[in-house]
A and B are shown apart, each in its own frame.
Chain A
Amino acid sequence: MKKQDFINELAEELEVESQVTAETVLKDLDEWDSMGAMILIGYVSDNFDVTLNADDIEALTTFQSLVDKIGVEKFS
């Protein structure tokens, strides 16, 4: 999956209305909350077979930090 496609699809899952990039900070989004975290964990688990826990979520900053956590090699 291309990195930007991943970011766009995840933003859609999170129902984010603003434009997002790799540099967007998750916690700055109005839509980011505990339910958003659940959606993100499910999306990442289903698409990359990577299980994120609460500490991983707490440590996330930008979408790029999420890509790094999943593993950059998984993106084209």
Chain B
Amino acid sequence: MTQKFENIFIESIAACVPKNKVGNDNFSNLLGPKEIRKFERTTGIKERRYASIDTTASDLGYKAAKQILEDKKCESQITALIFVSQTADYKIPFTSNILQSRLGLPQNILCLDINAGCAGFVQGLSTAYALAATTSGKVLLIVAETLSKILSSEDRSTSMLFGDGASAILISKSKEFSGESNFNFFSDGDNADAIMIPEGGYRNPINDKTLNWKVDDKGNKNQGIHLTMDGPKVFDFTLREIPSSVDKLISEFNLNKDEIDLFLFHQSNKFIINQIASRLGLPKEKVLINIDRFGNTSGVTIPLLIVSDFDKENMPKKILISGYGSGLNWGCGCIAMHPKMTIYNLLEY
């Protein structure tokens, strides 16, 4: 599927990460010093942030959103609130409805949760743009994850890769903004098991064996409620599909690659990002990376990258975003940036 939007733009963007930094030396039960060095070389990850036991993804998202609302004082103009996460507060009710009240937003609002993975920001942004195009108000998008809470500390294939964080993005419409933004989306449900929490839903409900530890053929230990990942399958998928999906967006909408100021890929792994960039022939200075400081925060990585690494004095006119992950699911967007977009300083919670 492809989409084209005009007159819609990101007005402000904020992000919040937990205070608690977790360095690679905390994983000496899983990797020796030489393996940790190789881990840093390949994934690029040096540390990630972990939320405390009583902090949820929506708490981080709330902080980020509050920063925008306190500055813009636009609560009454928000007509839709989208919450993108795989680590919601409850199974019922959905989290955006709770945030409506917490954030002091009006009751005549559409609240929508999207359960999406590493492509979640691209999916959430396109949904927000579609809503913004058909309402007179503004749309608030919150992407938030506490993946640390779904990891097994004894699984080498997942435990060191992920971190926690959240971002809030305010989307608006104005005829005075003539920029065009484009999206494309892809899904491959055949590989739904490549990234999965196998139990705890209603296909495999929680039972008296769910918390038993299982050991896979590589010695990784997991309970049924932990995130599992088929690393080689995901790696192949990324290198096979992502460069071509970016090329498809560029050709479908007759975009000029040279006019795209920055390329923001989902921060899954530095090696993969560099391989994608190299296959697309992109100069290094146009590809931002912050995975060294935050790890993979799923759908949060791209907006977090905007907050942590954009040069506010030298704002890009056009950026390309590409998200990919569980589903398997992937999507790209070429986003025209508003010259007066507000980027707030990164918050810690």
Residues of chain A having any CB pair with chain B under 8 Å: 15, 31, 33-39, 41-42, 45-46, 51, 53-55, 57-58
Contact = CB atoms under 8 A, between A and B. Distances in A.
Interface stretch (B37-45, B100-108, B168-176): B37-45
Interface string B265-284: 00001010011001000000
A57 B35 contact: no
A57 B275 contact: no
Main SS class of interface, A: helix
A36 B232 contact: no
Nearest to B37: A15
B41 A39 contact: yes
Contact of B38 (A15, A42, A46, A53): A15
A35 B35 contact: yes
A15 B35 CA distance: 10
A35 B42 contact: yes
A15 B275 contact: no
Contacts of A31: 34, 38
A18 B42 CA distance: 21
A39 B235 contact: no
A53 B39 contact: no
Contact of A34 (B231, B239, B240): B231
Contact of A57 (B37, B232, B274): B232
Given A15-B38, A39-B38, A41-B275, 6 more contacts: A33-B35, A33-B38, A39-B42, A42-B274, A46-B278, A54-B232
A34 B275 contact: no
Contact of A35 (B38, B240, B274, B278): B38
Given A51-B239, A54-B235, A36 B275 contact: no
A42 B275 contact: yes
B54 interface: no
Contact of B271 (A38, A57, A58): A38
A51 B279 CA distance: 10
